[in-house]
Amino acid sequence: MSRVTSELLLVGSLPVESTEAAFRVGAELFGDMVFALPDGETGPRAGWVSYEREQLTRPNPDVVVVAETESPTGRPRHAYETPVFSIREGVSELHFERWPRIDDAIDSYKQFRALREHGVIPAGLRFQVGLPFPASALNAFKANFAADYPRAERGFERLVARELERMLAEIPARELAIQWDCAYETQDIEGVLAWTSEGAWERFAGPVARLTRLIPEEVLVGYHLCYGTFPEWPMYEARDYAVLVRMANFAVANSGRTVDWLHLAGPRYLRSEDRSFFRPLIDLEPGPARVFLGIVLPIDGIPGLRRRRATASRYLRDFGVAMYCGFGRQPGADGIETMREHRRVAASIRSER
């Protein structure tokens, strides 16, 4: 029996300026449709794992900056323009003292709780935190990946173990939903990242087995399996759902605890009726997890969602929907209008039931 039954998932980032704004507009527009509210991943976290690169990894005294971005704007425009890091010679494992993302989560929860107490956020909604897996968080180690990544990963996983405990000391487990965000992992498995080496599957599978079991059963846990939005969706266009289905099945079987939801990003643009893309869903074994397909696109509204939903329904009986990724960086000048449209499109599924 699934503990998540909602028809919509908010993946994480929202097109607003602050945490409070994310909670207020998220509750207003989606409070009756979702099981948890994210804090919008605003400010420095809007660039997703660039936050880990700049706030966690770069300040580490054992990290060497091999090259800065060559972007003429000074800001990386895609994955191959990000700064390049390495680990100082003689260091066997990086040590990270504190994870800034957990500081932000604890601060955001305080606002979440206050707004819930004032009736802004509906009772019963959980506070949703998105956390990157190691290969996504540590993607700047490109200079000598085969040697550096294992040393960085060991230190990062130790950090995760400590910081999960710190977060759970501040946020009640029964009010928390944790989503593991995997984007570089999917591309690594697809074999399209130029800087990685052999062992792509283990870079996903190992953390699944080692990290998720550290989260108490009372916390809801999900996986967001995606192909990234840097600089645009997707960073790599998959042929079909096969890789995401394989990853999802492994996560359900090997997490060492219940997996409550799975988010699988959908096809690019107008491949709404491409049955070959959706066909691998027939092999999905979600167990008690609620499946959310990322088939809401900002370019074709309700008709496009209906076409993709009809195609997916040939191979998967029951599922909710979501944007293909977080939509804090989606096109459109008016973020609030973007979210209103998101609700309108997602609500169309409810009206058909």
The residue among 304, 293, 346, 353 whose CA lies nearest residue 32 is: 346
In one-letter notation, the amino acid at residue 94 is L
What is the predicted pLDDT for the residue at 81? Answer: 75
The pTM score is 0.95
* Weakly modelled stretches of the chain, pLDDT under 50: none
pLDDT of residue 167: 98
> For 195-208, what is each residue's pLDDT tens digit?
898 999 999 999 99
Amino acid at site 235: M
Residue 294 CB partners (closer than 8 Å, separation 6+): 11, 226, 263, 264, 265, 266, 321, 322, 323, 324, 325
Q: Quick check: helix, strand or coil at residue 219?
A: coil
User: Which class in CATH covers the domain with range 8-44+100-122+161-351?
Assistant: alpha beta
Contact 284, 303 (CB under 8 A): no
Residue 119 falls in which region: left (phi positive, over 0), alpha (psi -120 to 50) or beta: left
> Distance from CA of residue 34 to its chain's centroid?
16
Q: How far apart are CA 105 and CA 48, in angstroms?
A: 14
Cβ–Cβ < 8 Å for 94, 151 = yes
Give the model's pLDDT for residue 332.
59
Distance CA 172, CA 264 (A): 28
Confidence (pLDDT) at 353: 57
Residue ranges per structural domain of the chain: 8-44+100-122+161-351
